[in-house]
Amino acid sequence: MNYFAHHLVPPHNVGGGDLALLWKQEVEVKILSTYNNLIDTHIKDAGKIFYVTFIYGEPDKAKRKAIWELLTNLGKDRSDPWYRTGDFNGIIDSSEKQGGLVKYE
């Protein structure tokens, strides 16, 4: 795939997937921290400096609050722009999905 570097987070439960971040040589990526569900980075690219947190949301709804608290703590002292991206494993209502159980909340 011709990537310069990568950072991997192995699955943390049975049936869970890996989390992988791959980047090209011209992008300077500093891994700040790694958790079961995210990779937090500081990136320099094309003269821009910013934070990016790559997230795979917690499938267990009961554990999602901990992810949001972690994100809140990560962002407290940041001055550069901060992007949070990925699969948060959450929807607002059933119109955002096809099939499966209807979401009530």
Higher pLDDT, 12 or 62: 62
At 53, give phi and psi (nearest 5°): -110, 120
pLDDT in tens, 40-65: 999 999 999 999 999 988 777 788 88
Predicted pLDDT at 13 = 67
> What integer is the mean pLDDT of 5-33?
86
CATH for 5-96? 3.60.10.10
- C-alpha–C-alpha distance, residues 101 and 104, integer Å: 9
Predicted pLDDT at 14 = 63
Cβ-Cβ contacts under 8 Å for 45 (sequence gap 6 or more): 26, 27, 28
Predicted pLDDT at 17 = 64
Domain residue ranges of the chain, discontinuous segments joined by +: 5-96
pLDDT in tens, 62-95: 888 888 899 999 999 999 999 999 888 777 777 8
Predicted pLDDT at 26 = 93
Predicted pLDDT at 3 = 86
